[in-house]
Structure 1
Amino acid sequence: MTHTGSSATRRPVFQPKVALAAVFGTTVEWYDFALYGTAAALVFNKVYFPGSDPLVGTVLAYGTFAIGFLARPLGGAYFGERGDTQGRKGVLVATLLMMGLATTAIGLLPTHAQIGVAAPVLLTLLRFVQGFAAGGEKTGALIILFENAPPKWRGLLTSLPAIGTGTGTLLSTGAFALTTGLLSEDAFLDWGWRIPFLLSAGLTFFGLWVRRSLPETAEFQQVRQVQQAGPATAKAPRPLRQRIAESRCVAAWRRYPKEMLIVIGAGAAENAGYYVFGTFSVTYAEDRGLSTSALLSGISLVAAVKLVTVPAFGALSDRIGRRPVSIGGALVLLAAAWPFFTVIDGGHTWGIWLALFITLGIGQSAVLGSQPAFFAELFDTTVRFSAVGIANNIGTVLTGGLAPMLASALLLWFDHSVTGVVVFIALMSALTVVTVALARETRGAAEPAEETATRKQDVDVRTAP
């Protein structure tokens, strides 16, 4: 058996431009993706799903919101296969372009009053495209940083794409706060809401320019060299079943079934917490007849705070381990769920900001900052992109993407009481605690399957380009 060398000797000196390109691209993508969440609560329930009870319209709007998440595992599988066979960089360019085009198109989409039922249908289709692109984006940024990072900095550096998601949320929420503040309600619903979506075109172009400087990772190049050095095989067309069986996606499930399930469950608290406290809370305030300005401004402020707290928790996981930081964050979310909505009912701005800081700035940030490195460390290079992309996106769909719609439905089911929503958050937090507690600590551990070149060729070389 041939030893391939340690991670420390195979990685070049970390280049800051890699972090800049990855984070900025993720910022642009998540600006696009997060716009929809706020618009679903404030706009789409009125202009694309009119003629129903406002809360029912919101549930329908969040249904199209959830469609984007249902598309994410498909995008994770497709772009994961491309990332593991053709390279990480190309995926990051493709996902950014796809997301930008879909978001700009939403900004140009006619309303229900203009084209009837075709409007919500097209809106749903564009949201699907957004979700498909998002399925490869965050995973790609995480992987390219992980494979360029010194082992002792993995937690810190792989948490940086989460800064991009926070910055994107900050920009999107700020754009809506600005437009709602400057325009009358009629003007905002008529045309003002489109402005943040149309701005995506310029941001996407600049993001593509930034990402062109991303280098391919040394780990992927080494694996490709090993595969290309294998025996030559004929490139005759293969049946679809055979191509699926030989894919990296199937290989990930075959070789790492336990780890895949861990990734699916471990992010439950972070996913549900983000979309309940950061998105559904706006709907809750509207249902109570409260002003949403304090929430929107608070979400923007906390998104700025997370630029510090997320990498801080990532760095902390480099010192004390991924598991304790992740479990601690989930426990904070569990404990804060009921007080959070009590504070929202009080309507005091400073109280709302503090509640958002505790839930999103501390609890959710701790889970979010510690888990990217944890997930990547569970898998070897040949299937890492596919494994993390599929499992993490499945978890996001089940525990995050459906959260706003489920929370709105629970609010109706419990006769506008928040009890059901609090129970939901408690269950998701408990799932994270149990799943992570059952997993092994990955900080400082050797990467799986790095010991032999033979194991690296477990995936059929015919899947290589």
Structure 2
Amino acid sequence: MTVTDSPPPAQTAADRSTVRTALLASLVGTTIEWYDFFLYATAASLVFNTTFFPDQSSLVGTLMAFATFAVGFVVRPIGGFVFGHIGDRIGRKRTLAWTMFLMGGATALMGLLPTAAQIGVLAPILLLALRIVQGFALGGEWAGAVLLAVEHSTPKRRGFAGSIPQVGLALGLALGTGVFALLQTVMSAQAFLAYGWRIAFLFSVVLVVFGVVVRLKAAETPAFVELKRDDEVASRPLRELFAPPTLRPTLLGMLSRWGEGAAFNTWGVFAIAYATSPSGPLHLDKVDVLVVVTAAALLMAALLPVSGLLADRFGPRPVYAVGIAAYAVAVFPVFALFNTGTPGSFAIGIIIVFGIIHAGFYGAQGTLYASLFPTRIRYTGLSTVYQLSGVYASGLTPLILTALIAVGAGAPWLACGYLVATAVISVVATLLLKPRELADL
């Protein structure tokens, strides 16, 4: 896809201020939402496998914690359908306020949950219920945040604008792992397991209040305002999405995301358990691993806008495809590096695949998927592609990798083969996509 060479319309100071506010609202909102969502992932690796599933072996406890992690991804498509419909019917801004309220409330309540030692089997049941609410809320978040940024921007800056919500994901992960690392540094292991982890979850209340205030200052996107003015709002966006001609880009979009979802949840979630598990091959210090993942996520956040600028220059599709291919090439060497068993080698591997390679393609993803659908069903389209694919691409990845490593008697090579296969599928599907020109969004 080539980016149009026609000059963007002149922007007044008020226009530029509106765009900056929209980008800030998109960034702050996604940072907070992903902080909440991935805080659970970090806790699943370090806390929940013992506090909510204490009667299981280390492996089974980790699998059960990751299973509740995966449930959040299973529910996300439902949230995507519901909030996508609302976002295409009443607008992007109002929908995003509701997703943040739901996510923040569920995360804060997790911080108040009694453990299995206190209330028995009811503890994991309540944890699962709150994870479902988290997944439902996040189902409508990502697409709305991308559209808030992309639909406010000028054609020549839409790649960059689409990378800003992705920065929020990296910052949210870094914030979650960073807070956990800090808490484990300033308090004993016993204190952290007893109550320290709850501080990170309750901190969400402060973040959500700030995020809602910022989001309410943003204006509705010009694309949706024009759609509503012309009385062209879709009455059944989901039905339109799964009918020709949008069925093909919907299915290809979901396949193209497989590699990205698997990659993120390998390096940002599974790698933490792989490196720190007592039954695993590395036995690295938990705080050291969290610091490394935090540093890689911060590097990713810094490089994601570069990916967006490359998408403006070359188009989001080739940038995304090349980046996924680079991830496929790196998988086996990086796990070989991990298995040398030193903190330094683990750090180098995570920095390469997560901080650099993932940033190279993830920044182009939002704009690529936004370019697949017309305005009237764009919120539903983005939500469906990202969230429905998340069930197999993201949520199941830690479970699949854990199981494959167990089958391989502790060796990671079967898991590596699976990750490479997801990348190949993604590259082929991406090359088959036919996105719209950025000027036509």
Equivalent in the alignment of 1:171: 175
From the CA coordinates, give the structure whose radius of gyration is larger.
1
Equivalent in the alignment of 1:249: 238
Contact 2:9 2:154 in 1 (8 A): no
Q: CA deviation at 1:262?
A: 1.8
Q: CA deviation at 1:89?
A: 0.5
Residues 132 and 334 of structure 1: CA distance in aligned 2, closer, same or farther (over 3 Å): same
Read off the aligned partner of 1:251 and give its amino acid letter: E
Equivalent in the alignment of 2:3: none
Aligned residue runs from structure 1 range 44-59, under 5 A? 44-59=48-63
In the alignment, does 2:23 pair up with 1:23? no
Aligned residue runs from structure 1 range 171-210, under 5 A? 171-210=175-214
Q: CA deviation at 1:8?
A: 5.2
Match of 1:284 among 269, 274, 277: 274
Match of 2:347 among 341, 345, 353: 353
Q: CA deviation at 1:112?
A: 0.7
Residues 79 and 408 of structure 1: CA distance in aligned 2, closer, same or farther (over 3 Å): same
Deviates more, 1:405-414 or 1:128-137: 405-414
Read off the aligned partner of 1:254 and give its amino acid letter: A
Contact 1:151 1:444 in 2 (8 A): yes
Q: CA deviation at 1:430?
A: 0.7
- C-alpha separation between the residues in 1 aligned to 2:393 and 2:168? 21
Residues 92 and 362 of structure 1: CA distance in aligned 2, closer, same or farther (over 3 Å): same
- C-alpha separation between the residues in 2 aligned to 1:325 and 1:357? 20
Contact 2:371 2:438 in 1 (8 A): no
Give per-residue Cα distances to partners, 1:206-237, cap 9 Å, x unaligned: 11111110101111111112217x9xxxxxxx
Read off the aligned partner of 1:260 and give its amino acid letter: T
3-state SS in 2 of match to 1:355: helix
Read off the aligned partner of 1:51 and give its amino acid letter: D
- C-alpha separation between the residues in 2 aligned to 1:196 and 1:105? 12
Contact 1:338 1:422 in 2 (8 A): yes
Read off the aligned partner of 1:318 and give its amino acid letter: D
Equivalent in the alignment of 2:407: 413
Equivalent in the alignment of 1:422: 416
Residues 204 and 69 of structure 1: CA distance in aligned 2, closer, same or farther (over 3 Å): same
In the alignment, does 2:349 pair up with 1:344? no
- C-alpha separation between the residues in 1 aligned to 2:8 and 2:237? 25
Equivalent in the alignment of 1:260: 250
In the alignment, does 2:427 pair up with 1:433? yes
Residues 339 and 291 of structure 1: CA distance in aligned 2, closer, same or farther (over 3 Å): farther
Could you state the TM-score of these two structures normalised by the residue count of structure 1?
Answer: 0.88
Contact 2:89 2:235 in 1 (8 A): no
Equivalent in the alignment of 1:3: none
Could you state the TM-score of these two structures normalised by the residue count of structure 2?
Answer: 0.93
- C-alpha separation between the residues in 1 aligned to 2:136 and 2:107? 13
In the alignment, does 2:319 pair up with 1:325? yes
- C-alpha separation between the residues in 2 aligned to 1:163 and 1:330? 18
**RMSD (CA atoms):** 1.9
Aligned residue runs from structure 1 range 91-240, under 5 A? 91-227=95-231
- C-alpha separation between the residues in 2 aligned to 1:395 and 1:106? 26
3-state SS in 1 of match to 2:217: coil
Aligned residue runs from structure 1 range 360-439, under 5 A? 360-439=354-433
Q: CA deviation at 1:347?
A: 3.1
Q: Which runs of 5+ in 1 are unaligned?
A: 1-5, 231-244, 448-465
Residues 146 and 127 of structure 1: CA distance in aligned 2, closer, same or farther (over 3 Å): same
Q: CA deviation at 1:442?
A: 4.1
- C-alpha separation between the residues in 2 aligned to 1:93 and 1:8? 30
Read off the aligned partner of 2:248 and give its amino acid letter: K
3-state SS in 1 of match to 2:376: coil
Aligned residue runs from structure 1 range 295-306, under 5 A? 295-306=289-300
Q: CA deviation at 1:441?
A: 5.0
Contact 2:372 2:435 in 1 (8 A): no
Equivalent in the alignment of 1:89: 93
Give per-residue Cα distances to partners, 1:369-424, cap 9 Å, x unaligned: 11111110111110000111112111122111111111112122222221221011
Contact 1:253 1:387 in 2 (8 A): no
Contact 1:318 1:443 in 2 (8 A): no
Identical counterparts, % of pairs: 36
Q: CA deviation at 1:204?
A: 0.8
Q: CA deviation at 1:445?
A: 6.3
Q: CA deviation at 1:290?
A: 2.8
Q: CA deviation at 1:115?
A: 0.8
- C-alpha separation between the residues in 1 aligned to 2:182 and 2:345? 22
Residues 213 and 174 of structure 1: CA distance in aligned 2, closer, same or farther (over 3 Å): same
Read off the aligned partner of 1:258 and give its amino acid letter: R
Q: Which runs of 5+ in 2 are unaligned?
A: 1-5
Contact 2:249 2:434 in 1 (8 A): no
Read off the aligned partner of 2:416 and give its amino acid letter: V
- C-alpha separation between the residues in 2 aligned to 1:426 and 1:27? 29
- C-alpha separation between the residues in 2 aligned to 1:368 and 1:7? 27
Contact 1:11 1:219 in 2 (8 A): no
Deviates more, 1:170-179 or 1:263-272: 263-272
